Amino acid sequence: MMQQQQPRVRDAFPQVKSDPAGSRKEKGVKVHGGAGAAPKLGGGEGFRAGDAEEMLRQFDLDLRFGPMLGLTRLERWARAEELGLDPPAAVRDYLLVQQPGGSVHSSIFEGRV
């Protein structure tokens, strides 16, 4: 008497082979940066106050560029650039046109943590 095999979980679902990002690029399909990708904003001087604040806030909260405590935003940007982490150039451009020592140079956590 032959015993019947129990069905496997993997048999209930279709198997889809993953497509590495490199082959999607070759086919011309746009590959997104992922959930943690920060938006790249252009220009430094032409920002409205709300746009600049949001850009700087996103930079502060983006953990890809390392810790922000104890560093100015410009120092953090420079460190991220040295490490090849590709920080947004718009952040540097905006900070360079601002007065040195102003509140825009400190992270959103400065004085809170």
Q: What residue spans define the domains of the chain?
A: 42-113
Residues 76, 92, 62, 87, CA torsion sign: negative
43 close to 91: Cβ distance less than 8 angstroms:
no
Tens place of pLDDT for every residue, the chain, 113 residues? 567 777 776 666 666 666 555 554 444 444 344 444 444 444 445 667 788 889 999 999 999 999 888 889 999 999 999 999 999 999 999 999 988 777 788 887 777 76
SS3 1: coil
pLDDT score for 79? 95
